[in-house]
Chains A and B, each alone.
Chain A
Amino acid sequence: MLRGAKVGRQLARISGCRYYSKSEVSASLSSSYLKGHVRTDPVNVLPKPYYGGIHMVTLYTGSSIIGQQGAKFVSSLLQSSRVPVEVQPIGEEDEYFKSVLRNRAAVHVDINADEKSKARALKICNDLDLYVFKTRTRSFPGYKCRFPCVDIQMIGQNNMGNYSELEYSPVKGVVEALSVVTQAGNRKYLEHAFAAAVDAGRKRVTLVNKAKEWPLNDGAMVEDAKEIHCKYKDCLELELMEVEECISRLVTNPSYFDCLFASDRYATFLATICSGVCGGANLFSAVEMGDNHAVFKPLQTKLSLTNYSNLSAYGIISTIVDLLEYLGHRHCANELWDQMMRTMDDGICTVEFGGKDSDEYVISNINNQLKCTGLGGDEHSEKSE
């Protein structure tokens, strides 16, 4: 990856970054996983892949046919929108890690939730230290929405705690899982979360915890949150809530919530409940973010869902909107989002939301519209009905 092995090592020593020797990186994911390699050194940060004004992004398709179809949607959308983002499609495991390390942004479109795929996703999270998981669920009228006016931004911790996969069997017949939480990790997450909440223009933040059950773990997180909140006192309001109360409020009155913070343990199922209340997980996208790397995926892929038979177009479009925002093409992201809202308004919806069209039709419709107008182009173009 770097020039010569020897030179590379010397550079690494000088700059203090971790040096990825050839053997470490090219060893397959499964063997590293077996050896239990959890990243302990700071991540090697390569310069941004922004050459000639074009960003490079990894597109991981997985091995399923549906995943590959989803990937085709992504590339077609990016092409017709004429956004300067190039996609590097990856089908194979080992290449994926190297590619994400290089490109610093990836789109992961897949429908498999089995052990292997999860292990892969978790390994990426651990190695690249993607410690924040963000998703924004809102209700779209007409799309199985049970409660109107819901808009919840969920910022959860991603790779601490349970998902470090420390499981063992001390005695026969007993299995244990250790969940290790560090204060440094908590603080890092909280600082990022507060800054992100302010960025997103949120007013009230609810920290979900269960300090009654785990007074040390969650108690410490609550203390840290209160401390960090002092800096943001004038623009954000911090609220602490127990898990059970949060869930019951989510189910009965979700418009109460503005922004949710949650630790590792609760983040995933809270995201599931939020999305379930807003119409289903296939409408939304999620991003796993670290300091320098980010992986974007439809919420379907992030959660272990087996009840959807295919990837929904809306999730994919949301993912791309998030990606474009992350890369800085904010205008393009807004345009693409407007296009998606336009298709919803026009009544083009997929079968599961009561329409008769397929996901492909939705995407093609948007593609055609984009080809006519182009993002960042004329806003008063005629609509092709």
Chain B
Amino acid sequence: MNLVRRLRVGQLGSWAASFRPYSGKDKDKGKSKPDPKTPPKTPPKAEPKKDLTKAKDKSQEKDKGKGSNKGADKGKSDSIEANGFPKDTTKITLIKGEGAGPELMSAVQEVFKAAKAPVEWDVHDEYQVSPDNEDVAPAILESLRKNRVGLKGPVDSRHWQRHIRNQFKQYAYVSACKNIQGLETPYGEFDVMIIRDQSEGDYSGVEHSVVPGVWQTIKVGTTDGARRLANFVFLYATMNNRKKITVAHKANIMKMTDGNFLEAMQRLADTYKKKIKFEDRYLDTVCLNMLMKPDQTDVLTSSSMYGDVMRVIAGSMMGAPGICPGFSVSALGTVFDCRMKSDLANPTGPLLAAVLMLRHIKQEKHADRIECAIRGVYRDTDIRTEDLGGTATCSEFAEAVCERLEGN
């Protein structure tokens, strides 16, 4: 019990630190919500003067559908600056990752060049300090802190992922899974968004051996963490015009931990009652519904392990493991990635993640163009990479996407 208490206090300390930026974000969100359509007068700057501006930027609509059109981007992008990039270029950290990572990331860069997207890449080849030390390279951390948006290639090391998560206090991971027309799966059409908790729950990372032969894992949950996630879920879902939020839990078995998570969600559900429907279901039911009736699933949210399971299911329903894009949310910045293994050479995942990123920095038109090109390749041609049963290589696929972009 003593050991547990010490571990707990340590974790509480880190959470307390994370609450300050969170509360700042909350206040900003509260402010910007009543006037979501006001485009910022200044073009979205890469290096923000204050936390306030960027938080406002981020909290504004990341609209996935046609919806609102941010006026800020296209109009001002024609004037070229001295460094060769258009005026409102955003600087994005690009982490190459390992394995097939560099190849995939260069595919992304190529496609962006063809689309003439106003993005300047801050490329990082070395993702860890050294081959023995699996910590995140400090250069990456600094650049992410500066740019606040990052695109990450596949990295297998769990320690590395946890390190980044802790450094940036990333508390939620959003996966946007939409089926790709042209990629036939037995699951049909669906459009699911999965938001899962990242900082607590089963993946707290606390395990130890009590006596030889007995091991103990501790699954931690806090009310504040649950509330933070619940706030984000409802905000994000309403901003993207979603209809229904479903919480997956196992509160009939784990009454206190999942009950605590559920309570936080239910409390918010009342305030958002008019805008969005809310329901809570057992994890087994949710998984089964996702597999049997995928078109009836909308937004799913859950704690870390259950959410991970759901994300993998939804991602695989798209056609292949590892093409489902997503991003990690924190008050200090957003990192886009698609959780794939480092030996898959399928650029669809990173490309879709890059599209999400463009929407995040409010380059809607470019995002739409690139997405149309990707979906067009799947719909009209049969160029597929090896893991989907085709014979194309990563660069061939990227070329096909570029061709479509240039044609447009």
Which positions in A face B, CB cutoff 8 Å?
Answer: 113-115, 118, 122, 144, 146-147, 161-163, 165, 167-171, 173-184, 212-217, 220, 243-245, 247-252, 265, 268-269, 272-273, 275-277, 280-281, 303-307
| Residues of chain B having any CB pair with chain A under 8 Å | 1, 4-5, 8, 12, 158, 185-187, 202-203, 205, 207-210, 213-224, 250-257, 260, 281-285, 287-292, 305-306, 308-309, 312-313, 315-317, 319-322, 339, 341
A269 touches B287 (CB 8 A): yes
How far in angstroms is the closest Cβ of chain B from A203?
24
Bound: A213/B309 CA distance, A: 14
- From B209, B287, B309, B321, A252 is in contact (CB under 8 Å) with B321
- A175: shortest Cβ distance to chain B, in Å? 5
* Minimal beta-carbon separation of A159 from chain B (angstroms): 12
Q: Which of A251, A280, A305 has the most CB of B within 10 A?
A: A251
Whether A115 lies near B284 (C-beta < 8 A) is no
Please determine whether B252 and A118 come into contact, CB atoms closer than 8 angstroms. yes
Q: Point out the residues of chain B lying under 8 angstroms from A307, CB to CB.
A: 281, 285, 288-289
Contacts known (A167-B256, A183-B213, A280-B288); A174 close to B282, Cβ less than 8 A: no
The smallest C-beta distance from B303 to any residue of chain A, in angstroms, reads 11
B residues less than 8 Å from A277 (CB atoms): 291
B219 touches A179 (CB 8 A): yes
Closest to B227 in A: A173
Complex CA distance for A220 and B211, rounded to whole angstroms? 13
Q: In the bound complex, do residue A269 and residue B283 qualify as a contact, i.e. CB atoms below 8 Å apart?
A: yes
Contact in complex: B291, A304 (CB < 8 Å): no
In the complex with contacts A118-B252, A167-B257, A144-B292 CB distance below 8 A: yes
Neighbour of A146 across the interface among B186, B208, B217, B281, CB < 8 A: B186
Complex interface: chain A residues within 8 A of B287 (CB): 269, 272-273, 276
Residues of B within 8 A of A265 (CB): 202, 305
Q: Is the CB of A177 within 8 A of B256?
A: yes
Q: Is B215's CB under 8 angstroms from A175's CB?
A: no
CB pair B213–A176 under 8 Å, yes or no, is no
Nearest CB to that of A172 among chain B residues? B223
Q: A59 → chain B, closest Cβ, in Å? A: 23
Assembled-state Cα–Cα distance A265/B305 (Å):
10
> Is the Cβ of A245 less than 8 Å from the Cβ of B8?
no
* C-alpha gap A118/B320 in the complex (Å): 35
Given contacts A175-B222, A177-B256, A307-B289, 18 further A-B contacts (CB under 8 A): A114-B252, A115-B251, A167-B254, A167-B256, A174-B221, A175-B256, A183-B214, A213-B158, A214-B217, A244-B321, A245-B321, A245-B341, A247-B316, A250-B316, A251-B316, A273-B313, A275-B288, A305-B282
Residues of A within 8 A of B185 (CB): 252
Could you tell me if B186 and A147 are in contact, using CB atoms closer than 8 angstroms?
A: yes
B5 / chain A contacts, CB cutoff of 8 Å: 170
Nearest CB of A to B404, in Å = 26
Query: What are 20 A-B interface contacts by the 8 Å CB criterion?
Result: A115-B251, A115-B252, A162-B253, A165-B254, A168-B256, A170-B1, A170-B8, A174-B8, A178-B217, A179-B218, A181-B215, A182-B214, A220-B215, A243-B312, A272-B283, A272-B288, A276-B288, A281-B288, A306-B285, A307-B285
Chain B residue at minimal CB-CB distance from A352: B292
A247, B312: Cβ atoms closer than 8 Å: yes
- A184 CA / B253 CA spacing, docked (Å): 24
**Alpha-carbon distance between A37 and B205 when the two chains are bound, in angstroms:** 29
Residues of chain A contacted by B315 (CB below 8 angstroms)? 248
Pair B282/A252 contact, Cβ less than 8 Å: no
Q: Is the pair A217, B8 in contact by a Cβ cutoff of 8 Å? A: no
Known A-B contacts A115-B252, A248-B315, A280-B292; the reply to A174 vs B308 at CB < 8 A is no
Interface centre among A114, A184, A249, A303 (most CB of B within 10 A): A303
Quick one: closest A residue to B214, CB to CB? A182
Name the distance in Å between B289's Cβ and chain A's nearest Cβ: 6
A252 to B318, CA, bound (A): 9
CB-defined contacts of A303 to chain B, threshold 8 Å: 284, 288
Closest-by-CB residue of A relative to B212 is A183
Which residues of A sit under 8 angstroms from B289, Cβ to Cβ? Answer: 307
